[in-house]
């Protein structure tokens, strides 16, 4: 598969990541993590490169990538806001929090604001069940979200 114009650099950078990790035991997940860390997402054009290097089918690589929700197939916004959707957070008002955040940002889950500032993602447990409802903004946990905390969090994300 030929990569799109301008993606020769992506292929070279992806190949370097693949080569550095392909001899590991169970290399697929570390390679996907490495590529996402490098580019901010896993470009579709890198999947055939991974498949060939690991002697897997493209479908196997694609299946693993799409199974795990943390892998992105497109660039995220400058900030990533993850809202917990697990039962503990839902029972403590997580649905209302999610709806308020969507309203304030003007996006649905798996979408990025038009200005590219925030990507909104659902997650299924942040480990803050005792502090539900919870969220994570750029790796920083936030618990006990009420209306004021939600507005503060969204404003922080939009900066």
Model-level pTM? 0.78
User: What pLDDT shows up at residue 8?
Assistant: 83
> Within this chain, do residues 150 and 87 fall inside the same structural domain, yes or no?
yes
pLDDT digits (tens, 9 = 90+) for 19-74: 999 999 999 999 999 999 999 899 999 999 999 999 999 999 999 999 988 899 98
Please write the tens of the pLDDT for every residue from 106-117: 999 999 999 999
Q: What whole-number distance in Å separates Cα of residue 157 and Cα of residue 154? A: 5
- Domains of the chain: total: 2
| Same structural domain, 61 and 86 | no
pLDDT of residue 70: 84
For 99, the domain range is 79-158
| 149/152 Cα distance (integer angstroms) | 5
Domain contains 1: no
């Amino acid at each position: 598969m030929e990569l799109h114009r301008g993606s020769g650099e992506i292929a070279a950078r992806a190949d370097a990541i693949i080569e550095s990790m392909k001899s590991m035991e169970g290399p697929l997940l570390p390679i996907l993590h490495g590529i996402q860390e490098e580019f901010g997402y896993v470009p579709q054009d890198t999947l055939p490169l991974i498949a060939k290097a690991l002697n897997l089918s493209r479908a196997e690589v694609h299946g693993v990538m799409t199974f795990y929700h943390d892998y992105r197939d497109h660039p995220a916004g400058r900030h990533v806001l993850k809202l917990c959707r697990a039962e503990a957070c839902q029972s403590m008002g997580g649905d209302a929090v999610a709806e308020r955040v969507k309203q304030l940002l003007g996006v649905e889950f798996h979408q990025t604001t038009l200005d590219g500032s925030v990507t909104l993602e659902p997650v299924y447990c942040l480990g803050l069940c005792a502090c539900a409802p919870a969220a994570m903004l750029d790796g920083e946990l936030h618990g006990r979200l009420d209306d004021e905390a939600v507005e503060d969090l969204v404003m922080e994300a939009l900066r």
